[in-house]
Chains A and B, each alone.
Chain A
Amino acid sequence: MKRQIYANLQRKITFITLLVSFIPLISLSVIIYYQFAQVFRNKIEEQIEYRARVQSNAIELFLKERTAILLAMADTYTFDYLAEKNNLERIFQIMNHRVGGFIDLGLIDSAGRQIAYVGPYNLVSLNYYSQPWFPEVESKGVYISDIFMGYRQIPHFIIALQRQENKKRWILRATIDSDVFESLVRAAQVGKSGDAFIINKESFYQTHLRFGGQILSRSHLDPTLFGVGTTVLEKEDKDGKKILYAGSWLKKNNWLLVISQDASEEMTKLFKTKKIEIVIVVFGCLMIILTTIFTTHLTIRRLETADRKMNELNAQLVHSDKLAALGKMAAGVAHEINNPLAVIAEKTGWMEDLLTEEDFQKSQHFAEYKKSLGKIEEHVERARKVIHGMLGFARRMEPHLEDVDINEVLDQTISFLESYARTNNIVIEKELETDLPIIASDRAQLQQVFLNLLTNAVDAIGKDGKIYLTSRRIDSEIAVSVRDNGPGIPKEYQPRVFEPFFTTKQSGKGTGLGLSVTYNIVSSMGGTITLDSEEGKGTAFTVRLPIVVPEKK
């Protein structure tokens, strides 16, 4: 039953402690993880956005440079000059030398016919009038086309510009080297799966994709999702992977540079962190569980011990209360019995007195009368001893304090018993510690205590034996021990020896009050008395008295 209570308490404490430890720990780690994940993600988005912006600037610059040099050439030279193949070739060389990245260069008249051409393809005399870019150049003056196949049937894009010379219009057209351009775009690729490409307003790829996607095929990306400047979005691809896209508009919002990145690839660092965090949290939880179980167990054991001690103390208190009540009762009973006993004693005495007279001596049963009266007196004496013992037990007065030398009291007490002990061949050996402090105590009561213990020892031995009497100072107490080598006290009797009226002596020999009186006196002095006995080996009683220093007079 008791164990159940402690087990329940232990469970409750463990549960509550774990609850209040786990809730903050786990919620803290979850919050920190999500905050961290958010910050990490923001950083990734910022990075990809930054790359898109920087790369789009680089591409814009690339296009501007090429446009500018083309413009410079057109402004510097006349149609007739450029129409000479040698001249055009020289200019082409200059352009590639200065900025590079041109595949070919062509001069086209207002009718769309290519007058002169420098480049790897045989395109001289072809008419471009019906090409989609032609009207664009005519209307805008300078035009950078999207990717198209054209006559050469290879995806490419051109920069074309129109000039007016003596009412005669002509066009200078250059093709940009796709390899150079694509490598510029690809410079923005990152990681194992990151890509960088350009799509036009109608979502057609303007560059090759890193994995698979064909130039001029249609992209699944909707360019309208990307706003002015640089925009970052997250989309799932067809495999369900989350992909981050950063898009930046180029070429007066005609092209969109897109940098894509597998979100999970960038997040691997975060997932690693997550794993470490989980390990730490699990380890922390384990430590908390172990510590909680251990400390709770320890606390409960302490509590149990304290409870047990308190119960023992309570039992002792109840015991002394019982003794006190019994003492009071004994005193009342003693008084009630003493008076009639006194009358019996005196009447018997009076009858004996009268028996001495002559008339009675001649009586036939004189001897019987005398013997009977003697018996009455003997038994009155026996009753008297019991009653007086009870009164001794009842004596619970405040100790009368005087300066007491314990060793002196012990010596004196031994002297009472010496002759009796000698005749029964009992040796009393003493080992008294010299310079024991003088204490304030009740000499008479102490004497009674020691006399009771010594008498018991003598009675226990009967004949031929040894009594060891020792006095010692132990810290703030004086311990007096009386040990005999008598038969010892059986285990079942040991807890009862201090109870009043408990005796193992023959009927009529002991009142059973000696040890309870002793116990009461020692308790009233603030001391303790303990028993250590083993059957067949002997018994030792140890009295411990607090050292109470006498007041200075």
Chain B
Amino acid sequence: METFRVLAVDDETDFLETIVNRLLKRKIEATGVPGGEAALALMKEKNFDVVLLDIKMPGGMDGIEILREIKKIQPLTEVILLTGHASVETSIEGLKSGAFDYLLKPVKFVELLEKLIAAFEKKNAQEQRIRGAKIRGIINFE
């Protein structure tokens, strides 16, 4: 059965644990890590389709910085910013740095699922296009 891999990053462990459980229950392969560094470390070993990232986490790297690092490690992976702190500046900064969307906590779970799927679809489409481009490169049209 086709599913997709989600990495949730949040220092609020109660939230992290629950969201991972709920995603798993819906057959989404979800993993949770409580901080930016741990997320980056994990991403070096394992591919994820979508990252759910809290950008206001105490200590450690700044959320936007982690977003940029993630994009360096896995450029095609879509990142959804999920935060309790609404700041237009950071949201714009995030979107400029390549985030898929910016969501404000608490978010309706159904909306979250929609966004995850949309992000996954976008990532897939990107991959398809790249694969197509590669094939075009291989096939000789002459």
CA distance A346 to B105 in the complex (A): 10
B101 to chain A, nearest CB (A): 16
B64 to chain A, nearest CB (A): 16
A251 contacts the other chain (CB 8 A): no
Q: Which of B56, B87, B105 has the most CB of A within 10 A?
A: B105
Q: Is the CB of B88 within 8 A of A338?
A: no
Q: Which residue of A lies closest to B11 (CB)?
A: A339
Q: Is the CB of A346 within 8 A of B15?
A: yes
Given A338-B105, A341-B106, also A346-B22 (CB < 8 A): yes
Contact with A along B8-48 (1 / 0, CB 8 A): 00001011001101100100000000000000000000000
Contacts of A341 in B (CB 8 A): 84, 105-106
Residues in A329-351 with C-beta less than 8 Å from chain B: 331, 334-335, 337-339, 341-347, 349-350
Contacts of A338 in B (CB 8 A): 84-85, 104-106
B73 contacts the other chain (CB 8 A): no
Q: Is the CB of A343 within 8 A of B56?
A: no
Q: Is the CB of A335 within 8 A of B85?
A: yes
Contact with B along A336-377 (1 / 0, CB 8 A): 011101111111011001000000000000000000000000
B89 contacts the other chain (CB 8 A): yes
CA distance A341 to B105 in the complex (A): 8
Given A343-B18, A350-B21, A353-B25, also A331-B86 (CB < 8 A): yes
Q: Is the CB of A339 within 8 A of B12?
A: yes
Q: Is the CB of A339 within 8 A of B84?
A: yes
Contacts of B21 in A (CB 8 A): 350, 353
Contacts of A380 in B (CB 8 A): 106
Contacts of A345 in B (CB 8 A): 106-109
Q: Is the CB of A342 within 8 A of B88?
A: no
One of A14-22, A256-264, A389-397 at the interface = A389-397
Cross-interface CB contact of B88 among A334, A335, A337, A395, cutoff 8 Å: A395
Q: Which of A338, A344, A347, A380 has the most CB of B within 10 A?
A: A338
Given A343-B12, A343-B18, A346-B18, also A391-B86 (CB < 8 A): yes
Q: Is the CB of B106 within 8 A of A391?
A: no
Q: Is the CB of A394 within 8 A of B86?
A: yes
B112 to chain A, nearest CB (A): 9
Contact with B along A80-103 (1 / 0, CB 8 A): 000000000000000000000000
CA distance A341 to B86 in the complex (A): 14
Q: Is the CB of A339 within 8 A of B18?
A: no
CA distance A331 to B87 in the complex (A): 9
Q: Which residue of A lies closest to B87 (CB)?
A: A331
Residues in B98-135 with C-beta less than 8 Å from chain A: 104-109
CA distance A342 to B18 in the complex (A): 10
A41 contacts the other chain (CB 8 A): no
CA distance A254 to B84 in the complex (A): 131
A415 to chain B, nearest CB (A): 22
Interface size, chain B (Cβ < 8 Å): 21
A contact face: mostly helix, strand, loop, or mixed: helix
Contact with A along B69-107 (1 / 0, CB 8 A): 000000000000000111111000000000000001111
Contacts of B15 in A (CB 8 A): 339, 342-343, 346
CA distance A93 to B13 in the complex (A): 162
Contacts of B89 in A (CB 8 A): 397
Interface size, chain A (Cβ < 8 Å): 24
A162 to chain B, nearest CB (A): 140
Cross-interface CB contact of B105 among A339, A347, A397, cutoff 8 Å: A339
Contacts of A337 in B (CB 8 A): 84
Contacts of A335 in B (CB 8 A): 56, 84-86
Given A346-B22, A349-B18, A353-B22, also A388-B56 (CB < 8 A): no
Contacts of B19 in A (CB 8 A): 346
Given A343-B12, A345-B109, A349-B109, also A391-B22 (CB < 8 A): no
Q: Is the CB of A349 within 8 A of B22?
A: yes
A152 to chain B, nearest CB (A): 138
CA distance A338 to B25 in the complex (A): 24
Q: Which of B18, B85, B106, B108 has the most CB of A within 10 A?
A: B106
A174 to chain B, nearest CB (A): 135
A524 to chain B, nearest CB (A): 12
Contact with B along A112-145 (1 / 0, CB 8 A): 0000000000000000000000000000000000
CA distance A395 to B87 in the complex (A): 7
A242 contacts the other chain (CB 8 A): no
Q: Is the CB of B22 within 8 A of A342?
A: no
Contacts of B14 in A (CB 8 A): 343, 346-347
A384 contacts the other chain (CB 8 A): yes
Given A331-B86, A394-B86, also A342-B106 (CB < 8 A): yes
Given A339-B12, A349-B22, A350-B22, also A344-B86 (CB < 8 A): no
CA distance A347 to B19 in the complex (A): 8
CA distance A349 to B17 in the complex (A): 12
Q: Which residue of B lies closest to A394 (CB)?
A: B86
Q: Is the CB of A388 within 8 A of B85?
A: no
Q: Which residue of A lies closest to B109 (CB)?
A: A349
Q: Which of A341, A343, A346, A349 has the most CB of B within 10 A?
A: A346
CA distance A395 to B109 in the complex (A): 25
B91 to chain A, nearest CB (A): 10
Contacts of B84 in A (CB 8 A): 334-335, 337-339, 341-342
CA distance A349 to B105 in the complex (A): 14
Given A335-B84, A342-B12, also A384-B22 (CB < 8 A): no
Q: Which residue of B lies closest to A380 (CB)?
A: B106
Given A342-B15, A343-B15, also A334-B86 (CB < 8 A): yes
Q: Which of A341, A353, A381, A388 has the most CB of B within 10 A?
A: A353
CA distance A539 to B109 in the complex (A): 39
CA distance A380 to B88 in the complex (A): 23
Q: Could you list 21 examples of A-B contacts with CB < 8 Å?
A: A331-B85, A334-B84, A334-B86, A335-B56, A335-B85, A338-B85, A338-B105, A339-B12, A341-B105, A343-B14, A345-B106, A345-B108, A345-B109, A346-B18, A346-B109, A347-B18, A349-B109, A353-B22, A353-B25, A381-B108, A397-B89
| 10 closest residue pairs by CB, A with B | A338-B84, A342-B105, A391-B86, A342-B106, A346-B18, A345-B106, A335-B85, A339-B84, A397-B88, A338-B105
